[in-house]
Structure 1
């Protein structure tokens, strides 16, 4: 008969978070994960329960000072410090705003910045800008450096970043080290695939800019979107 492996009680909240997500967990389970271990004779779930019994309102727990936290059996000086640090970090996260890197006013203005940045580069750079609904840049990533082709520059890498940062729109750009920004057949095929993938995902491809040493091509301005 196969011997059953007992799962430590302290790991149960972690398992539940993995299976159901953090929003399904109770305050006690979330606190137990942060505490990590119990303190004899209490396991971690019991310790979390004792803390919440002492401070049944989360606002009271947030307001508790180090001395008050240490009055609870099983919560020593180090654990009290950790709890205060955790609560302060949570408060700062709550107040944090998404960082923005300027607003895209036009393809021309953005292209001028990219020309200045990439004009001396001897390799192709695929750069994607991720925008919110106000066309504010919320994320930027260089996804590839080298010799660009369709198999390397796959749409899934581009849209994975878009999903991660909750972008509403994207602008892709790459440079031609030759200095001539004319769109190649590969550039057009890649843009077509990218646009189609965005339409399926509900994330708009706003433009694909190709920059050279002193000029640029906007595939949207060229009418590629109407083709």
Structure 2
């Protein structure tokens, strides 16, 4: 009977609930830690749909997201396929997920020292292993090998036009980096470097010598594996 009462209550409109049961009022009264996942998402959504109140809609969205292999990478279009989710609600969810990822990355960066290729791979492995396009990043490091920032340079098949030394070193110079590490993924999962990978790496290493910013390594991320061009002595 208690479960039935609970379920019936949550089929009401949010405004018909007691103040202590409304997500926003509950947050204000007790703090964010008292809210369930669906209540937190309901606060972000703001409103429900024609068929469901905000909590019910949030529950439906979370159930679908949990079925994804990497729910943090769900797309705007995938969210809009869920009944009751239009571009406004989908955009709010995407923005919240992206903000969460960025804040977590920044927190990790502040506590993280780069001391091996494996320490770099740990940062990028989950993010890049399922990407359908090649993404080329640089890590900017200070004199103590602490991360200053992570910069996306290009998306698409790696070639010299996409990865130009000017674009690679612009942010490094602007942010006074002492050294950089190059990172990109192979959507095929195979981490064997291509001729372009090797040529671009050597070109950037030489440019780094000229501008006084050392290229420490270039990592290729695959499906659960990585390769260090430095360790394999490609440069």
Measured in 2, the distance between the counterparts of 1:101 and 1:206 equals 20
Contact 1:150 1:190 in 2 (8 A): yes
Contact 1:101 1:139 in 2 (8 A): no
What TM-score does the superposition give when structure 1 sets the normalisation length?
0.54
Measured in 2, the distance between the counterparts of 1:101 and 1:121 equals 26
Confirm or deny that 1:147 pairs with 2:148. Answer: no
Structure 1: tracts of 5 or more residues without a match? 1-98
Structure 2 counterpart of 1:176, from 180, 186, 189: 186
Residue in 1 that maps onto 2:204: 194
Measured in 2, the distance between the counterparts of 1:173 and 1:161 equals 15
Structure 2: tracts of 5 or more residues without a match? 1-108
CA offset at residue 167 of structure 1?
A: 0.2
CA offset at residue 101 of structure 1?
A: 6.2
Confirm or deny that 1:209 pairs with 2:232. Answer: no
Measured in 2, the distance between the counterparts of 1:192 and 1:131 equals 19
Confirm or deny that 1:133 pairs with 2:146. Answer: no
Structure 2 counterpart of 1:113, from 120, 123, 133: 123
Q: Which runs of 4+ in 1 moved over 6 A?
A: none
Q: Which structure: larger Rg?
A: 1
What TM-score does the superposition give when structure 2 sets the normalisation length?
0.52
Task: Please give the root-mean-square deviation of Cα atoms over the aligned residues, in Å.
Answer: 1.4
CA offset at residue 104 of structure 1?
A: 0.8
Contact 1:125 1:175 in 2 (8 A): yes
Measured in 1, the distance between the counterparts of 2:111 and 2:234 equals 27
